[in-house]
Amino acid sequence: MVAGILRNMRALRFDQSRLSDEEALELAKLFAEHQQTALERYSTGIVTALPVEMAALESCFDEVKDIEMRGVKYKVATASIKGSNQKRSSAIIKQASEAGNNLAAVCAADMLSSFPNIEELMLVGIAGGVPYPENAEKHVRLGDIVVSDQQGVTQYDIGRQYKDYFEEKQRGRPPSAKLLDRVNELTTLELKGVKSWEAHIDELQLRLAWDRPADQLDVLYRGDGSTKIHPHPGDESRQPGRPKVFRGKIGSANLVLKSSDHRRKLRERHGVIAVEMEGSGIADAAWMHRVGYLVVRGICDYADGRKNDTWHRYAAIVAAAYAKAILEIL
């Protein structure tokens, strides 16, 4: 009834100045209640940090609306699922004001407080890859997709600083069992040759006119300061021009990693397959609010001294596309 009244008011260009203060207050309350009821069906939240990540995410959906809750702006995004006239994927999306675990945690906590019906939280965006050229099966390359597994995210800048060394203290929180189950479903479908995210990648590339960089621009150097190129190992499981999906532990810190030597040590100590700057903040916020989380990342660089933005757009696309594939089976 309230929705009908509001539609009629808008259609008639209703002049709210004709209302008394009491009537205006009552109408505002009715509208707020109606808005809150309408938002209760959204059970998935997505957090991102960079404008390129938000642009890719928004482009995944047919409809994106701006809403404001408690003075904070969010995006309500919905899209029809192909092959179905009724099913729709939907999410509440929020971009953190900038990169970093602290602000990501604040952003996620605010979202979960504003939308108490959110049960699953995803962090979607770009990250630095941790390559393993000696092992083709674990060798992450530019443009690949990395998804947190049961080990979740480990924050590697927490620990004790001594005079001559830093002692890392691992802290991780397991991701959502529900979301991990959905990733398992996608993995099973992938083994059958069905990769729904690839169609989403193609659509996003056309919609945004963001091309995949040439393979010649995927260069891995042997070490910090080295000019020698480390060749990528042969991998029959790879398809030319398509991302490979990896599942594993993701390293997170409040710093930009630009050292291949330190990157290698993180792989050896913690077994991480990617490094980024928001995952542990999201994991902490989700844990405190007793909801599940998952991290989905597209690989944009090798976290070394040669970091650049060449692969940023494509990496943002593949992460958004895989996140949409997860939403479609939620």
3-state secondary structure 162-181: CCCCEEECCCEECCCHHHHH
What average pLDDT does the segment 307-322 reach?
A: 96
What average pLDDT does the segment 217-232 reach?
A: 91
State how far the Cα of 175 lies from the Cα of 182, in Å rounded to an integer. Answer: 12
Bridge partner list, 69: 72
Residue, of 5 and 169, whose pLDDT is higher = 169
**Residue appearing with tokens 């108490």:** 116
Residue, of 271 and 7, whose pLDDT is higher = 271
Q: What is the pLDDT of residue 204?
A: 97
pTM of the model as a whole: 0.86
What average pLDDT does the segment 15-43 reach?
A: 60
pLDDT at 11 over 50: no
What average pLDDT does the segment 301-317 reach?
A: 95
Average pLDDT, the chain: 87
Confidence of residue 315 (pLDDT cuts 50, 70, 90): very high
Residues 6+ apart with CB under 8 A from 124: 46, 47, 48, 53, 57, 296, 297, 319, 320, 323
Q: Are 150 and 180 in contact (CB under 8 A)?
A: yes
State how far the Cα of 128 lies from the Cα of 142, in Å rounded to an integer. Answer: 9
Q: What is the pLDDT of residue 12?
A: 42
State how far the Cα of 72 lies from the Cα of 59, in Å rounded to an integer. Answer: 22
pLDDT at 203 over 90: yes
Residue, of 62 and 19, whose pLDDT is higher = 62
What average pLDDT does the segment 229-242 reach?
A: 94
pLDDT at 35 over 60: no
Q: What is the pLDDT of residue 201?
A: 98
State how far the Cα of 39 lies from the Cα of 42, in Å rounded to an integer. Answer: 6
Q: What is the pLDDT of residue 245?
A: 98
Residue, of 166 and 247, whose pLDDT is higher = 247
pLDDT at 21 over 80: no
pLDDT at 153 over 60: yes
Residues 6+ apart with CB under 8 A from 213: 142, 143, 310, 311, 314
